[in-house]
């Protein structure tokens, strides 16, 4: 850790904050603070430089235009990519999974270069995937089911250096079969909800990566109840 | 007949089915029904229903007004409203953002009002920038007056290409969707109330009408007290937009303000119901900008709050937006999470460190509060259902 406080960078929330992505940063912050780990959220807005000293970077979803602008900004200010090179933890949601890859191709067939953080390419699918998603963990990466809401047209193909986060039971995810991507300490997913409030085990996995310590249990009855409700709504009781 | 049927079947307040049938029989029905009338259209993300009611009251100074009270804001709702008052020389119509281009083409409005644009139900309405572009094209074709909020960047971009724009400084806007310029993508820079793009010439236009705290200032510099019965800064903004639009149709400002001042209950919104020793004020909020404004209104007193959340098609099925609402402002207050998706809200409140309990039925949630005033804030279908049950 670069400072005594765990710094959570919320990257371009004014461009890539379309789906309540602030929630992912809040969940990380509170789950650390409540356990006595000092943590804070650092907002990095459009037009501002991106520091490379943060411990966790949270990148959210955005509209097509916003996504292009975000890539441009993150290239001009490559703090996050430098942090990734030294092993910082990064969560990329929705647009995040697309812009972190080698390239992404829009519905207009124009291909844009990605940030090259994960071995993947994305392209526009025929139809928009909208609805509840349930997926099971890949390679025992986490416990329990992955639950969330997806709303995206992109489809993502992973290369050999990236592995999927989960296997889709209900919904579409990357391609109807697998969901998300993990490469080193970079974790990507198409799921909103936002994803960390719905999946505290993923939040704790990111915290473990960032601090080197596996966090102890944290009983939040509303979260347990929500996970059961959403799984039931998707037809896959927990 | 079919309107009665619609009411019987519980399909809203009977505003839709008659129009749907009429449009099937005559696809040009809207153009025919608006022809020969002076038409004002009101659109935007928040405040449409209230502003439409205010504007229709103000325009009633000039003569009979046909209007779609109650939020049936798609073409079938317009046809129903216009058919009910075939002889009214004026029409004031609330229009869903997505249908605005179609309605502009059919109705050739004398006045088009654009209130504000922010994220709303992304899985249904689509992304703000897409809406802005389609409104921009539609507004450019308006030969009448466009009344637009210059404190909203998206609105300014959408209205700027129109021939005849009246700019209103409302003092309200949701800036979280407009960090980058809708025209060129470069960052927007703010300096006090003024904003401008750092890359192109998009900047806050000089307003003709200005909203102050409790008053408005006309283009001639005349200050008029608002003294509204509706609460909140956003209703002052709605009132000034309505007054400016009414002026464009020829209503003197004093006459307009006197009429819209009396609005106290808009399709059940803001009304207070008496129940089990409680005085519950019913407030509707549909998206982050609306909730943020409503939380400011309820902050004026420390009353317990019942928050009601559903996630049907009309609400948007993705509840991610709950995390864009500053619920942290309710810390220290007695709060009940309610509605079909009370649990999603409860998780949000947990992380906002707002103590709460869960009572899914909103009427039972009101009952569970200590006697006295209660603020009830509900999203779209939750509000509609609660309002209908409270009326029984």
DSSP string, B285-309: --SHHHHHHHHHHHTTS---EEEE-
Q: Is the bond preceding residue A194 a cis peptide, omega within 30 degrees?
A: yes
Q: Chain B residues with CB inside 8 Å of A30's CB? A: 351, 353
Residue-wise pLDDT for B323-364, tens only, equals: 999 999 999 999 999 999 999 999 999 999 999 999 999 999
The pLDDT, as a whole number, for residue B10 is: 40
Tell me the average pLDDT of chain B: 90
Tell me the average pLDDT of chain A: 92
How many whole angstroms separate alpha carbon A44 and alpha carbon B372?
Answer: 44
Q: Chain B residues with CB inside 8 Å of A95's CB? A: none
- C-alpha distance from B174 to closest chain A C-alpha (Å): 11
- C-alpha distance from B117 to closest chain A C-alpha (Å): 14
Q: Which of A7, A43, A134, A230 is nearest to B179 (CA)?
A: A43
The pLDDT, as a whole number, for residue B33 is: 94
Q: Chain B residues with CB inside 8 Å of A23's CB? A: 320, 322-323, 348, 351
Identify the DSSP state of A215.
Answer: P
The pLDDT, as a whole number, for residue B371 is: 96
Q: Which residue among the candidates A54, A73, A152, A192 is catalytic per the annotation? A: A192
Give the pLDDT band (50/70/90) at residue B224. very high
How many whole angstroms separate alpha carbon A44 and alpha carbon A12?
Answer: 5
Q: What residues does each domain of chain B span?
A: 2-261, 272-391
As a whole number, mean pLDDT of residues A143-151 equals 94
What the block records as the tokens of A202 is 């993923």
Q: Which of B187, B317, B343 sits opposite A226 (nearest CB)?
A: B343
CA dihedral angle for residue A43, residue A47, residue A51, residue A55, rounded to 10 degrees: 30
**Any idea what the Cα angle at residue B134 is, between residues B132 and B138, rounded to 5°?**
115
Lowest mean pLDDT among A189-193, B17-21, B241-245, B253-257: B17-21
As a whole number, mean pLDDT of residues B15-29 equals 76
Lowest mean pLDDT among A163-167, B23-27, B266-270, B294-298: B23-27
Mutate to test the interface with B, among A8, A10, A16, A23 (most CBs of B within 10 A): A23
The pLDDT, as a whole number, for residue A109 is: 87
Report A:46-105 residues touching B (Cβ under 8 A). Answer: 46-47, 63-66, 68-69
Q: In what order do the strands lie in the sheet with A89-93?
A: A39-44, A6-11, A56-59, A89-93, A186-189, A181-183
ipTM of the complex in this document: 0.96
Identify the DSSP state of A83.
Answer: H
How many whole angstroms separate alpha carbon B297 and alpha carbon B376?
Answer: 12
Q: At what angle do helices B100-107 and B128-140 cross, to 10 degrees?
A: 10
The pLDDT, as a whole number, for residue B125 is: 52
A170 touches B: beta carbon within 8 Å: no
User: Contact B83/B22 with Cβ under 8 angstroms?
Assistant: yes
Q: What residues does each domain of chain A span?
A: 6-233
B371 touches A: beta carbon within 8 Å: no
Q: Is A54 a catalytic residue?
A: no
Beta strand segments in A25-75, E: 39-44, 56-59
Q: Which of A14, A19, A65 sits opposite B318 (nearest CB)?
A: A19
Residue-wise pLDDT for A15-31, tens only, equals: 887 778 899 999 999 99
The pLDDT, as a whole number, for residue B1 is: 37
What the block records as the tokens of B359 is 């009572």
Lowest mean pLDDT among A134-138, B88-92, B290-294, B343-347: B290-294
What the block records as the tokens of B242 is 């309505």
Q: Which of A227, A181, A193, A234 is nearest to A19 (CA)?
A: A193
Residue-wise pLDDT for A59-115, tens only, equals: 998 777 788 889 999 999 999 999 999 999 999 998 788 899 999 998 888 899 999
Q: Which of A14, A15, A222 sits opposite B350 (nearest CB)?
A: A222
State the DSSP H helix or E strand holding residue B258, giving kind and residue range, or none if neither: helix B253-261
Residues recorded for chain A: 238
**Would you call A17 and B318 a contact, using CB atoms and an 8 Å cutoff?**
no
The pLDDT, as a whole number, for residue B25 is: 75
Burial of B42 (0-12, 13-18, 19+ CB in 10 A): buried
Residue-wise pLDDT for B101-117, tens only, equals: 999 999 999 999 999 99
Bigger pLDDT: B299 vs B164: B164
Q: Which of B142, B111, B139, B102 is nearest to B241 (CA)?
A: B111
Separation in Å, CA B210 to CA A49, A144, B146, B190, B236: 36, 55, 16, 18, 11
Lowest mean pLDDT among A7-11, B200-204, B388-392: B388-392
The pLDDT, as a whole number, for residue A26 is: 97
Which residues lie closer than 8 Å to B324 by C-beta, 6 or more apart? Answer: A17, A20, A22, B119, B176, B288
Residue A41 has pLDDT above 70, yes or no: yes
SS3 state at B68: coil
Lowest mean pLDDT among A64-68, A195-199, B96-100, B249-253: A64-68
Domain at B272-391: CATH architecture: Alpha-Beta Complex (3.90)
**Helix, strand, coil percentages, rounded to 5, for chain A:** 30, 30, 40
A197 touches B: beta carbon within 8 Å: yes
Give the pLDDT band (50/70/90) at residue B13. very low
**Any idea what the Cα angle at residue A92 is, between residues A91 and A94, rounded to 5°?**
145
Bigger pLDDT: B201 vs B286: B201
Separation in Å, CA A162 to CA A100, A146, B18, B283: 11, 18, 56, 48
The pLDDT, as a whole number, for residue B178 is: 64
Backbone angles phi, psi at B275, to 5 degrees: -160, 130
Separation in Å, CA A193 to CA A58, A146, B358: 15, 11, 19
User: Contact A163/A181 with Cβ under 8 angstroms?
Assistant: yes
B150 marked among binding-site residues: no
**Any idea what the Cα angle at residue B110 is, between residues B105 and B113, rounded to 5°?**
85
Q: Which of B127, B344, B350 sits opposite A220 (nearest CB)?
A: B350
Which residues lie closer than 8 Å to A192 by C-beta, 6 or more apart? Answer: A19, A20, A61, A93, A94, A148, A149, A150, A151, B318, B320
Give the pLDDT band (50/70/90) at residue B180. confident
Considering only the top CATH level, what class is A6-233? alpha beta
The pLDDT, as a whole number, for residue B299 is: 85
B2-261 CATH choice from 3.40.1190.10, 3.40.309.10, 2.170.260.10, 3.40.50.1100: 3.40.1190.10
Q: Which of B343, B345, B311 is nearest to B325 (CA)?
A: B345
User: Contact B244/B213 with Cβ under 8 angstroms?
Assistant: no
The pLDDT, as a whole number, for residue A78 is: 97
Q: Which of A221, A177, A205, A174 is nearest to A89 (CA)?
A: A205
Residue B227 has pLDDT above 70, yes or no: yes
SS3 state at B74: coil
**Would you call A225 and B343 a contact, using CB atoms and an 8 Å cutoff?**
yes
Q: Which residue among the candidates B123, B161, B302, B318 is catalytic per the annotation? A: B318
């Amino acid at each position: 850790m670069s400072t005594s406080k765990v710094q959570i960078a919320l990257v371009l929330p004014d461009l890539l904050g379309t789906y309540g992505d602030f929630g992912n940063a809040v969940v990380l912050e509170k789950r650390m603070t409540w356990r006595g780990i000092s943590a804070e959220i650092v907002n990095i807005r459009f037009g501002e430089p991106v520091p490379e000293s943060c411990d966790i970077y949270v990148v959210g979803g955005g509209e097509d235009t916003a996504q292009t602008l975000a890539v441009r900004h993150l290239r001009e200010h490559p703090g996050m990519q430098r942090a990734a090179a030294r092993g910082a933890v990064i969560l990329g949601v929705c647009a995040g999974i697309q812009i972190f890859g080698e390239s992404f191709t829009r519905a207009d067939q124009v291909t844009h270069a990605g940030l090259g953080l994960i071995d993947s390419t994305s392209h526009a699918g025929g139809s928009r995937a909208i609805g509840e998603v349930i997926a099971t963990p890949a390679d025992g990466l986490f416990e329990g089911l992955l639950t969330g809401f997806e709303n995206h047209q992109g489809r993502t193909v992973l290369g050999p250096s990236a592995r999927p986060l989960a296997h889709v039971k209900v919904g579409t995810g990357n391609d109807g079969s697998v969901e998300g991507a993990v490469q080193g300490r970079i974790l990507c997913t198409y799921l909103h909800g936002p994803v960390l409030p719905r999946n505290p085990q993923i939040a704790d996995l990111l915290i473990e990566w960032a601090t080197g310590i596996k966090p102890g249990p944290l009983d939040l009855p509303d979260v347990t109840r929500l996970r059961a409700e959403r799984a039931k709504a998707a037809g896959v009781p927990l | 007949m079919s309107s009665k049927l619609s009411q019987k079947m519980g399909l809203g307040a009977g505003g839709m089915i008659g129009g749907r049938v009429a449009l099937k029989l005559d696809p040009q029905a809207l153009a025919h029904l608006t022809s020969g009338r002076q038409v004002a259209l009101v659109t935007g993300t928040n405040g449409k229903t209230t502003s439409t009611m205010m504007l229709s009251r103000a325009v009633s100074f000039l003569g009979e007004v046909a209007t779609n009270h109650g939020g049936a804001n798609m073409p079938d709702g317009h046809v129903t409203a216009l058919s009910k008052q075939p002889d009214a020389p004026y029409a004031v119509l609330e229009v869903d953002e997505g249908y605005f281009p179609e309605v502009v083409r059919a109705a050739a409005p004398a006045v088009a009002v654009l209130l504000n644009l922010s994220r709303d139900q992304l899985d249904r309405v689509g992304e703000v920038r897409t809406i802005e572009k389609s409104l921009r094209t539609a507004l450019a074709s308006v030969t009448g007056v466009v009344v637009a909020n210059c404190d909203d960047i998206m609105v300014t971009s959408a209205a700027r290409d129109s021939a005849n724009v009246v700019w209103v400084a409302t003092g309200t806007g949701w800036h979280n969707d407009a960090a980058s310029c809708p025209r060129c993508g470069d960052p927007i820079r703010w300096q006090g109330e003024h904003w401008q793009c750092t890359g192109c010439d998009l900047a806050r236009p000089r307003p003709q009408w200005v909203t102050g705290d409790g008053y408005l200032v006309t283009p001639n510099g005349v200050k008029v007290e608002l003294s509204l019965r509706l609460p909140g800064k956003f209703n002052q903004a709605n009132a000034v937009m309505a007054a400016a639009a009414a002026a464009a149709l020829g209503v003197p400002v004093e006459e307009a303000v006197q009429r819209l001042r009396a609005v106290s209950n808009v399709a059940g919104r803001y009304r207070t119901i008496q129940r089990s020793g409680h005085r519950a004020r019913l407030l509707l909020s549909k998206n982050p900008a609306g909730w943020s404004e409503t939380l400011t209104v309820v902050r004026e007193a420390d009353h317990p709050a019942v928050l009601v959340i559903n996630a049907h098609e009309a609400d948007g099925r993705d509840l991610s937006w709950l995390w864009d609402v500053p619920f942290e402002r309710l810390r220290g207050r007695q709060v009940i999470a309610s509605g079909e998706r009370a649990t999603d809200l409860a998780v949000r409140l947990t992380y906002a460190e707002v103590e709460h309990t869960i009572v899914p039925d909103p009427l039972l949630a009101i009952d569970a509060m200590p006697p006295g005033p209660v603020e009830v804030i509900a999203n779209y279908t939750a509000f509609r259902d609660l309002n209908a049950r409270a009326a029984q």
